[in-house]
Amino acid sequence: MTATSGSELAALSARQAGARIAAREVSSRELTEAALGRIARLDGRLGAFLAVTADRALAAAREADARAARGGRLSELDGVPLAVKDLFLTRGVPTTAGSRILEGWLPPCDATAVERLEAAGAVLLGKLNLDEFAMGSSTENSAYKPCRNPWDLTRTPGGSSGGSAAAVAARLAHGALGTDTGGSIREPAAFCGVVGVKPTYGRVSRFGVVAFASSLDQVGPLARTVEDAALLLGAVAGHDPRDMTSSARPVGDYLAGLEDGARGLRIGVPREWLGDGLEPGTLAAVRAALEAYQRLGATLVEVSLPHSRYGIAAYYIIAPAEASSNLARYDGVRFGLRAGAGGGLREMYAETRQEGFGPEVKRRIMLGTYALSSGYYDAYYLRAQKVRTLVRRDLDQAFERCDLVAGPVAPGVAFRLGERVEDPLRMYLADVFTITANLAALPALSVPCGRDAATGLPVGLQLVGRPFDEATLLRAARALEREVGTFPAPEVA
């Protein structure tokens, strides 16, 4: 066995780590200890983890090493240390959703996605920080602690899967799972310089994932490389009888065509997405990526998504409306916090929810309750659902002329902590490019495409695809990655 330092081990991609375990050059135990060592050393400054399950991880690593020794590895991910957003239920391991209302709760079961990762032999290092109930774009809404961007600790990692993106970027885990309701995988991936995939609605089971907005929520990977993203997506995708919204379509091999390049691809560029409101450094990096695609033999096609400018308005009715309904279950009866029980049932509900929910969650419950309240349903929720049809129709029309759509992920680079907390609307407006894919139920990803010239911070390119055509998105992202490379480990100082 070759002696390798902890930081060299931590720098391996998930697939490389798996290959080294297979070749018996490194053990899962060494990888796990290296990751736990980095978490102990760096996460006090980053705040990516809400819980570290060191003992369980080391026990899982021992089992993975035993399997590797007898030649019975479960998958390429067997023994590879990963982590999941703290929105995924983990049996017997605290699951908070970033909220005080679930503090100390031990779920009775595992999320299907977690079960599948463990069935593939992956080692779970712990639970990752997030905006409370996944509501936010900065991870500042975590009830426990903010998470910081490993490239600049004064800035947010994005959100709501901010802990997932920060942990993967800072080499605290070799890959992670997040969830994306309006951009919550793609925006933090872009801000932290990693790859993030929001699959087609229905591609990955949401069983055991704390529900936010059920017609929009989707599970996906955050990864160091496009190849890792493909590997992780393949491990968790597929039908689950416990999630009635999960699709029965077979899952393709996302690694198979990954190296096929961009030649011949028709890439749609929405004219509405490269206009006003983009920071110059972001616009420049996105344009450079589009030019790279041309050099690689792809054709750029101008398309129009005239209804994408209505996306935010429709989303901030639909998502809060569904959230207000989903979060009705936190009532102090069956699990989680209970307060004010001495004053009767009504008092208990109000007191429990007042104490347990943070400001952003209350704001969205209020907004959703208003939109669904008597006399307002048609004006708000129904109208928003109709606009959703128009947003999807725009994409369907675009896909008659192109194979995928490309554009920015966010209007700019990672912003500073505290900068937008008091102005929720401004925070919401930054979701304009990501929300389209959620409303349209389409697959989308963020792949690093360069740095902002002024700050040196990562910029992501967003690719949006046809339903269940994650493979084309991953192939196109891989072609760009070969051109621009992946980000090195940031100096977390």
Partner 1 sequence: MSLSLEEVRRIAALARLRLSPEEEERFAGQLSAILDHVRLLEELDVAAVEPMTHALAGEAPALRADLERPGLSAEVAVAAAPERAGTHFKVPRVLE
Q: Is the dihedral of CA 19, 24, 26, 29 positive or negative?
A: positive
Spatial distance between the Cα atoms of 51 and 96, rounded to a whole number of angstroms = 10
What would the x/- binding string for partner 1 be over residues 392 to 421, using CB under 8 A? x-----------------------------
> Please, how many CA atoms are within 13 Å of residue 142, restricted to the half-sphere of its CB?
30
Stretch that binds partner 1, among 40-48, 224-232, 361-369, 408-416 (CB under 8 A): 361-369
Report the distance separating Cα 78 and Cα 377, nearest Å.
Answer: 49
CB of 185 to partner 1, least distance (A): 17
From candidates 108, 418, 485, 488, binder to partner 1 by CB under 8 A:
108
Q: Which is nearer to partner 1, 399 or 428 (CB)?
A: 428
DSSP code, position 100: G
Residue 172 binding partner 1, by CB under 8 A: no
Residue 85 annotated to the active site: yes
Among 365, 409, 457, 473, binds partner 1 (CB under 8 A): 365
Catalytic residue among 28, 137, 138, 160: 160
Which of these is catalytic: 28, 184, 247, 324? 184
For 320, 370, 427, the CA distances from 373, given in Å and listed in that order, are 12, 5, 25
Tokens of 389: 């049809």
CB of 343 to partner 1, least distance (A): 8
Min CB(179)–partner 1 separation in Å:
15
Nearest distance in Å: CB 348, partner 1: 6
* CA distances in angstroms from 401 to 93, 317, 440, listed in the order given: 48, 31, 17
Binders of partner 1 in range 176-215 (CB under 8 A):
201-202, 215
Asked if 69 touches partner 1 (CB under 8 A), the answer is: no
CB of 152 to partner 1, least distance (A): 28
Q: Of 13, 27, 28, 85, which one is the catalytic site residue?
A: 85
Q: Does 248 bind partner 1 (CB under 8 A)?
A: yes
Alpha helices (runs of H) in 70-119, residue ranges in sequence order: 112-119
Single out the residue of 362, 483, 484, 487 in contact with partner 1 (rule: CB under 8 A).
Answer: 362
Asked if 380 interacts with partner 1 (CB under 8 A), we say: yes
* Residues 26-45 contacting partner 1, CB under 8 A: none
Residue 490 Cβ vs partner 1, minimum distance, rounded to whole Å: 34
Instruction: Please identify which residue in 271, 354, 397, 456 interacts with partner 1, judged by CB under 8 A.
Output: 354
CA 104 to chain centre: 24
User: Which residues, including other chains, have CB under 8 Å from residue 370's CB and lie 6 or more apart?
Assistant: 376, 380
Residue 308 annotated as catalytic:
no
Closest CA to 231 of 80, 111, 115, 60: 80
Backbone angles phi, psi at 486, to 5 degrees: -105, 160
> Given the complex with partner 1, which of 48 and 327 has the nearer CB atom?
327
250 binds partner 1 (CB under 8 A): no
Q: Rounded to whole angstroms, how far apart are CA atoms 99 and 361? A: 9
Rounded to whole angstroms, the Cα distance separating 202 from 198 reads 11
Structural contact between residues 113 and 219, judged by C-beta atoms closer than 8 angstroms? yes
| Count of residues interacting with partner 1 (CB under 8 A) | 73
**What Å distances lie between residue 301 and 191, 216, 236, 436, 481, CA to CA?**
27, 28, 33, 19, 21
The DSSP bridge pattern shows strands 175-180 and 81-85 to be parallel
Q: What are phi and psi of 124, to 5 degrees?
A: -95, 120
Looking at the DSSP bridge assignments, the partners of residue 443 are: none
Residues numbered 306-345 forming contacts with partner 1, rule: CB under 8 A? 307, 309-310, 312-314, 316-317, 324, 328, 331-338, 341-345
Does 138 participate in catalysis according to the annotation?
A: no
- The span of 42-50, 181-189, 223-231, 366-374 binding partner 1 (CB under 8 A) equals 366-374
Tell me how far, at minimum, the Cβ of 145 lies from partner 1, in Å. Answer: 22
- Contact between 353 and partner 1 per CB under 8 A: yes
Instruction: Sort strands 195-198 and 444-451 into parallel, antiparallel or unpaired.
Output: antiparallel
Residues 418-447 that bind partner 1 (CB under 8 A): 424-425, 428-429, 439, 441
Q: Is 280 in the site for partner 1 (CB under 8 A)?
A: no
Catalytically active residues are 85, 160, 184
